[in-house]
Structure 1
Amino acid sequence: MKYSIKVPCCKSKLKTIRSFVDDTLGQYIISDIDLNMLVLAVDEVCANLIVHADKENHLSEECIVLNILVRKNTIVFEVIDFKDHGFDFSNYQEPKLDDLIKSRRKGGLGLMLVRRIMDDVEFKTTNSLNVCRMVKKMPVVNA
Structure 2
Amino acid sequence: MKYSYKVPCKKEKLRDIRSFVKEILDKHGLSEIDSSTLVLAIDEVCANLIIHSHQCNAKDSIEIVINVDQEVGIIFDIIDKAEIFDISNYEEPQLEDIIKKQRKGGLGLILVKRIMDNIQIIQDPTKNICRMTKKIQVA
TM over 0.5: yes
Pairs within 5 Å for 1:113-128: 113-128=111-126
**Structure 2: where are the runs of 5+ without partners?**
none
Distance in 1, Cα, partners of 2:126 & 2:95 = 34
Pairs within 5 Å for 1:33-72: 33-57=33-57, 60-72=58-70
1:15 is paired with a residue whose SS is helix
2:78 is paired with a residue whose SS is strand
Number of residue pairs aligned between Structure 1 and Structure 2:
138
* 1:77-104 deviations in Å (ceiling 9; x for gaps): 0000122x11134652111100000000
Pairs within 5 Å for 1:1-143: 1-57=1-57, 60-73=58-71, 74-83=73-82, 85-89=83-87, 91-141=89-139
Task: Check whether the contact 2:44–2:112 (CA below 8 A) recurs between aligned residues.
Answer: yes
1:19 is paired with a residue whose SS is helix
2:55 is paired with a residue whose SS is coil
2:104 is paired with a residue whose SS is coil
Q: TM-score, normalised by structure 1?
A: 0.91
Q: TM-score, normalised by structure 2?
A: 0.94
**Structure 1: where are the runs of 5+ without partners?**
none
Distance in 1, Cα, partners of 2:105 & 2:36 = 20
Distance in 2, Cα, partners of 1:30 & 1:114 = 18
Flag the 1:33–1:90 CA change in 2: closer, same or farther, 3 A. Answer: closer
Distance in 2, Cα, partners of 1:37 & 1:88 = 21
